[in-house]
Copies of this chain bind each other. A is one copy, B any other.
Amino acid sequence: MTVFDFDRASKLAPAVARERKDDSPCAACSVRGMTICAPLDSNELAQVSALMTSVELQAGAPLFDEGEEAGNVYNLTSGTLKVYKLLPDGRRQVTGFLFGGDFLGLATQDTYAFSAEAVTPCLLCRFPRHKLEDLMQRMPKIEQRLLSIASNELVAAQEQMLLLGRKTAREKIASFLMMLAKRAKQRGQPEDPVLVSMSRTDIGDYLGLTTETVSRTFTQLKQEGIINLLPNHQVKLAQREALEEIAGGY
C-alpha cells in the first residue's frame, strides 16, 4: 500500500504545463469522431468547439484534485492519465486509467470525487462545465452520449469491484494485462506487445496490491512462459489464452 510521500508531492511538476487558446475545433476530437462529439453534426460541433480550450500536461503533472471545484470536463486526446482517491493517511486507490479518446470529469456535485494526474505526457480538450450544461439543454444528443459513457463506466467499475474483492494477485495481473490489450485494440493501437506505460506503484494501487507483489507476479508469469517482459515497458502475451483463462473469463 502506497503511503503519501510529502517530499515527492512538493517536487511535482506545476499543475498545468501549457495551455493554448485555439480557434479551430479540437483536431483530435473531430478527427477521431469520438467521445461527446461523436453524435453531432458540423453545426453542433462548431458550437461545442467554441467552448473548448486545449490543455497539455507533462508526465506526473496533476490535472485536478479530489474536492476541488469541478469547473471543467475533459476529453483526453492523447496520452495516459490516472484517476485516484486517497485515504486520510495517504493510502491510494487508482480507480481507473484513461487513454486517448476517453472522457473525464462527470460530476453531479460541484466538486470532483477523485484526483486526476498524467501518467505520460497528455493532450486534452477542456470544456467549462456550466457552459456545456447550457448547451446540453439545447442538444439532448450530448446528454445521450454522456449517459452512454456513464453506463459503460459503471459496468467497468463493477468489473473492477469483482477484481478487487475476489481475485488473487495472479488473477488481478492477468486481468490487468488483458484490459490493457483490449483498450489498446479499441483505439487501433498494437495489442500484442502491450505497452505498460504506468509504474509498478500505479499498477499496485490500481489492483489493491503492493509494488513487490506486482513485480513478483510479473516474474512468475514470465517464468511460466505466459508473458515476456520486453524492453521499453512492453509485455508480450506469449500465451494469450492461458492469460485469459487466469483472468477469470473476463
Which of A's residues lie within 8 Å of B, judged by CB? 1, 85, 87-88, 91-93, 95, 106-109, 113-114, 140, 143-144, 146-148, 150-155, 157-162, 164-167, 205, 207-208, 248-249
Contacts and interface: CB of A to CB of B under 8 A. Distances in A.
Contacts of A108: 148, 151-152, 155
Contacts of A144: 143
A248 to B, nearest CB: 5
Nearest to A249: B88
Nearest to A206: B165
A157 B161 contact: yes
A165 B208 contact: yes
A105 B62 CA distance: 35
Contact of A87 (B150, B207, B248): B248
B248 A208 contact: no
